[in-house]
Amino acid sequence: MKTLKIVNPADGSPLAELPADDAASVAAKAARARVAQPGWQARPLADRSAVMGRFRAAVAAEIETLAKTLTQEVGKPLAQSRNELNGFLGRIDFFLAEVAAATAAETVLADGAMTERIEHEPLGVVANISAWNYPYFVGGNVFVPALLTGNAVLYKPSEFATLTGLHIDRMLHAAGVPADVFITVVGAGAVGAALLEQRVDGVFFTGSVATGAKIAAQMGARMVRLQLELGGKDPSYVADDADPKAAAESLADGAMYNTGQSCCSVERIYVHERIHDAFVEHFVQTVQGFKAGDPLADGTYIGPLTRGPQLEVLEAQVADALAKGARLMTGGKRVARAGHWFEPTVLTGVDHTMAVMRDESFGPIIGIQKVKGDDEALALMNDTRYGLTAGMYTRDEQRAARLLRKVHAGSVYWNCCDRVSPRLPWSGHGDSGVGVTLSTYGIQAFTRPRAWHLRAP
Ligand code: NAD
Measure 371 CA to ligand 1 centroid, in angstroms.
33
Q: Which helix (H) or strand (E) holds 447?
A: strand 447-455
Q: Give pLDDT tens digits along the chain (457 positions).
A: 799 999 999 999 999 999 999 999 999 999 999 999 999 999 999 999 999 999 999 999 999 999 999 999 999 999 999 999 999 999 999 999 999 999 999 999 999 899 999 999 999 999 999 999 999 999 999 999 999 999 999 999 999 999 999 999 999 999 999 999 999 999 999 999 999 999 999 999 999 999 999 999 999 989 999 999 999 999 999 999 999 999 999 999 999 999 999 999 999 999 999 999 999 999 999 999 999 999 999 999 999 999 999 999 999 999 999 999 999 999 999 999 999 999 999 999 999 999 999 999 999 999 999 999 999 999 999 999 999 999 999 999 999 999 999 999 999 999 999 999 999 999 999 999 999 999 999 999 999 999 999 999 9
Ligand 1 probe mutation, 208, 265, 314, most atoms within 8 A of CB: 208
Is 229 known to be catalytic? yes
Q: Where are the beta strands (DSSP E) in 181-281?
A: 182-184, 202-206, 225-229, 234-238, 266-272
Residue nearest to atom 43 of ligand 1 (CA): 263
Query: Which of 295, 301, 294 has its CA nearest to residue 255?
Result: 301
Residue nearest to atom 38 of ligand 1 (CA): 263
* Shortest-distance atom of ligand 1 to CA 360: 32
Residue nearest to atom 21 of ligand 1 (CA): 192
From the candidates 98, 229, 267, 343, give the one annotated as an active-site residue. Answer: 229
pLDDT at residue 96, rounded to an integer? 98
Q: How far apart are CA 276 and CA 271, in angstroms?
A: 5
Ligand 1 probe mutation, 88, 141, 158, 185, most atoms within 8 A of CB: 158
Measure 230 CA to ligand 1 centroid, in angstroms.
7
Q: How far apart are CA 351 and CA 121, in angstroms?
A: 49
pLDDT at residue 347, rounded to an integer? 98
* Shortest-distance atom of ligand 1 to CA 428: 41
Give the C-alpha distances (Å, rounded to integers) separating 326 from 235, 307, 317, 320.
18, 26, 11, 9
**What amino acid is encoded at 404 in this protein?**
L
* Shortest-distance atom of ligand 1 to CA 196: 20
pLDDT at residue 152, rounded to an integer? 98
Ligand 1 probe mutation, 21, 126, 133, 168, most atoms within 8 A of CB: 133
Q: How far apart are CA 409 and CA 449, in angstroms?
A: 28
Measure 210 CA to ligand 1 centroid, in angstroms.
9
From the candidates 73, 84, 98, 263, give the one annotated as an active-site residue. Answer: 263
pLDDT at residue 1, rounded to an integer? 74
pLDDT at residue 109, rounded to an integer? 98
Query: Which of 339, 336, 334, 388 has its CA nearest to residue 363?
Result: 334
pLDDT at residue 102, rounded to an integer? 98
> Which residues have any ligand 1 atom within 6 Å of their CB?
129-134, 138, 156, 158-159, 188-189, 192-193, 196, 206-208, 211, 214-215, 229-232, 263, 360, 362, 388, 426, 428, 432-433
Residue nearest to atom 4 of ligand 1 (CA): 207
Give the C-alpha distances (Å, rounded to integers) separating 177 from 140, 205, 402.
14, 22, 47
Measure 85 CA to ligand 1 centroid, in angstroms.
20
DSSP state of 356: G
pLDDT at residue 424, rounded to an integer? 98
The values of phi and psi at residue 378, to 5°, are -60, -45
The values of phi and psi at residue 412, to 5°, are -125, 145
